[in-house]
Chains A and B, each alone.
Chain A
Amino acid sequence: MRPFDYVRAEDPVSASRAAAQANARFIGGGTNLLDLMKLEVMAPETLVDVSRLDFGGIAEDGDGLRIGATVTNSDVAADARVRRTWPVLSRALLSGASGQLRNKATTGGNLLQRTRCPYFYDTDTACNKRRPGSGCAAMGGETRNHAILGTSDQCIALYPGDMAVALRALDATIDVQRSEGAAERFSMQDFYRLPGETPDIETVLAPGDLITAVHLPAPKGDRQIYRKVRDRASYAFALVSVAAVVRMEGGRIAHAAIGFGGLGTVPWRDPDVDAVLVGEKPSAAVFDAAADTLLRGAVPEEGTQFKVPLARRVLRAVLEEATA
């Protein structure tokens, strides 16, 4: 860990100002950032501590819910309103990490969780995400924990989280305070950036841009499921996960929003998958069509071939349950 200046932010505006420089970072829970800083995968020169800032906790906002950026994963998962109305979010959070980590990790920080690609973590290997232009050691290496969707010839690193997968299915939005003070709201779709030619750039955030809240609209589906497949029973990253928010009307699928983890370079959602489902009567053929649509552009490596059938099977099972 390189030496850094530590700044304890007093308010969001001064926090943004303090962090509005090239090599500054906010720190909330720190569970991912410190992990990476210890290995010097990340090496900010300034750390702006926003963990004490009050972004309003969890508050009702019309039909929706506003979750302040520093609310911990535990508090979100345990919130009675979230449990009742947005259960897929509780479920996603509870399937991630451990009790200790969820007590520390924040909503804002979790949105910025970085890949678990082992070559990203290994500073003795090439990585375009860690050191732009250095190459990608994962390609031609060991790729079991990599993405099959949204990859580029520069990067196949997998987005590893759970919370954002559920947020995608819930059509959540992210409130950002730009470094110059302006507030801006992003859809999940717009917030994340595919690796393309610049895998080091993962979101729309510029230095000093501070996530202040996540907004959950009233859910468009009452049938909510989060299913995660992993190598051990707990405390492991997803091989594949599916977040489904579904509403049935008259035996047909009236609303379907499906998020995917373990597959994409970003928390994944494909509007075409949702479109295949909406208006249809649930059937194996429809579910298979949805899977075909999801996986039509998949680019598996040798180590990730298994994700294609696994994703298909999990999606089918989740849809069967959600539409039953």
Chain B
Amino acid sequence: MNLSFTVNRRARTLDIDPRVSLLDALRDHLHLTGSKKGCDHGQCGACTVLVNGRRINSCLSLAVMHEGDEIVTVEGLSDGAPSPLQAAFVKHDGFQCGFCTPGQLCSATGMLDEIAEGWPSHASADLDGPYELTQAELSERMSGNLCRCSCYPGINAAIRETAGTGDAT
């Protein structure tokens, strides 16, 4: 089945089995292997990419459902040099093995837009907004990305530094 979409600002076309997940299309068909398969069932977040600006689990989506969509993967978060968020992950050791990292980065990128739009979270004391990127808000909003190395302190410090909400752990 034919599919045309944009991946990291580049138009791509594929002739693809409808069963292929967006994640497998990126990894095995477009050879963008930054996005990782940790569970293939939406339970770990390692496959998180941005679709039309929003973070989703690419494992739980069929590639053919993304006709015309704009996809951004970890490879598309920077042009050449690492982005400020990527550099902050290195500085704060926001990873160890690095396997969940592409998903953490895409998720954090989407999450920062969500909080900028005033979306509430489970951690929000009230539903009125706007919301500050406190430890409680940040950790709740990033809980869809498991890190078995348990680099949550570094991840959170990197995100907060990038978002300009302090260097706190």
Contacts and interface: CB of A to CB of B under 8 A. Distances in A.
On whether A and B touch (CB less than 8 Å), the answer reads: yes
Interface of A: 1, 3-6, 8, 27, 29-31, 34-35, 38, 47, 49, 51, 74, 77-78, 83-84, 87, 90-91, 94-95, 97-101, 103-104, 233-235
A100 B55 contact: yes
B42 interface: yes
B18 A99 contact: no
Contact of B56 (A6, A83, A100, A234): A100
Interface stretch (B26-34, B59-67, B90-98): B59-67
Given A1-B19, A6-B18, A83-B120, A99 B144 contact: yes
B121 interface: yes
B120 A99 contact: no
Interface stretch (B5-13, B73-81, B107-115, B156-164): B107-115
B60 A30 contact: yes
Interface centre among B18, B21, B56, B145 (most CB of A within 10 A): B56
Given A83-B127, A103-B55, A104-B57, A94 B45 contact: no
Instruction: Determine the interface band of chain B, counting residues with CB < 8 A from chain A.
Output: 35 or more
Contacts of B119: 74, 77-78
Interface of B: 1, 17-19, 21, 40-42, 45, 48, 54-57, 60-62, 64-65, 67, 107, 110-111, 114, 117-122, 124, 127-128, 139-145
Contacts of B139: 233-234
B19 A100 contact: no
12 contacts: A6-B1, A6-B18, A34-B62, A35-B41, A49-B64, A77-B119, A97-B144, A99-B121, A101-B42, A101-B56, A103-B110, A234-B143
B110 A99 contact: yes
A235 B144 contact: yes
A104 B45 CA distance: 13
Nearest to B118: A78
A1 B117 CA distance: 37
B60 A103 contact: no
Nearest to B141: A99
Nearest to A74: B119
A288 B57 CA distance: 42
B113 to A, nearest CB: 11
Nearest to A96: B122
Contacts of A34: 21, 60-62
B19 A94 contact: no
Interface centre among B19, B60, B110, B124 (most CB of A within 10 A): B60
Contacts of A74: 54, 114, 119
Contact of B120 (A8, A30, A77): A77
